[in-house]
Amino acid sequence: MVSLIKRVVRSDLWVDGVFEERLSREPDIEVVKFSIRGPAQFARSALSAAHVYHISAAKDELPREWFASAELLSMCPNLLCVSAGGAGYDTVDVAACTAAGVAVVNQSGGNAVSVAEHTLGLMLGVSRRMLEGDRRMRREVGYAREDVMGHELAGKTVGLVGIGNIGSRVAVLARAFGMQVVAVDPMLTPAEIERRGARPVSWDHLLAQSDVVSLHCPRDASTLKMMNAKTFAAMKPGAIFISTARGGIHDEAALVQALQSGHLAGAGLDVWDQEPPPLDHPLLAMDNVYATFHVAGVTHEARRNVAAIAAEQIVTVLAGQRPPRLINPEVWPTFEQRWAGMLG
């Protein structure tokens, strides 16, 4: 009996080689790659025959026409699964996928160690004013070391907004630096937050008492502009704001005002409304802002982990089995029916 070929389609944006190496070991899986700058007709043809679309999670790198939108899904009758190439899935309309009977998976946890390390790096850089010191050394002499004197992290309180795969690892690292860790997470019970290494507190308490507020929550309708003029004003005077989550969760204009007024001491930002931000962005002009280009999870180790997890989940889904990182679990009964009719 000849097995039906199961098609996995992805763009030519960079993916660690372990992804295709793993899928190549499955004799009935074929990977098709299209160029985001190539003929659109080739991409549409490939996607129209796809069973899995492995999509980049980078919203400002993938052209919008290749987002997993309702319009694109309508052209993909065989599509069973959209696999986001990271923990985030900003390029995927999950509701549209669910309506179409398409499972959505992400690769949460694959880059957690890298993002947690980057978070601590931002905290250290801002708290110890490392970036300011580096810049001044490169452009002037004769200033006093005390002009760039910072603060220790030891003894300070870090408030984690979200304590999932990444937040729980940040908690471990923060405690190693002698920090007190508090957290809010509406998805978890107080007992589970404690088990993950933080003291559960209210939102108001976290803002008012934390020396560092660090975001580790998803971007969705409930979190957009969650950090705004009101919430920045509620933060402890002299506190530091850190985000390695997603652009849009914090209001960039409000953050500028909070920093310019002196209410906040500094910020460490890996995520932006537009990535990369324009060179004339006011936050980039501030010496007390440590800015990086959504690279917290971009390490050799993290990219390899994410690619390996993605490949394994795709193999699982194409075998008709429930994957461990299913974003829309309510789709599963419909998915099973579609899979049975198509590949079963």
Residues 281 and 275 sit within 8 Å (Cβ to Cβ): no
- In whole angstroms, give the CA distance from residue 185 to residue 165: 12
Phi, psi values for residue 59, rounded to 5°:
-65, -25
User: Is position 139 annotated as part of the catalytic site?
Assistant: no
Residues 18 and 42 sit within 8 Å (Cβ to Cβ): no
Which is catalytic among the residues 118, 216, 250, 294?
Answer: 294
Close Cβ partners of 118 (under 8 Å, ≥ 6 residues apart): 244, 270, 292, 295, 296, 297
Rounded to whole angstroms, what are the CA distances from 310 to 8, 145, 236, 325? 11, 48, 40, 10
- 303's tokens: 């990219």
How many CB atoms within 10 Å of residue 304?
A: 16
User: Is position 275 annotated as part of the catalytic site?
Assistant: yes
User: Is position 294 annotated as part of the catalytic site?
Assistant: yes
Q: Nearest-CA neighbor of 32 among 62, 11, 5, 63?
A: 11
Which is catalytic among the residues 20, 26, 30, 275?
Answer: 275
Which is catalytic among the residues 196, 246, 303, 325?
Answer: 246
Q: Nearest-CA neighbor of 239 among 217, 211, 199, 271?
A: 211
**Catalytic (active-site) positions:** 246, 275, 294
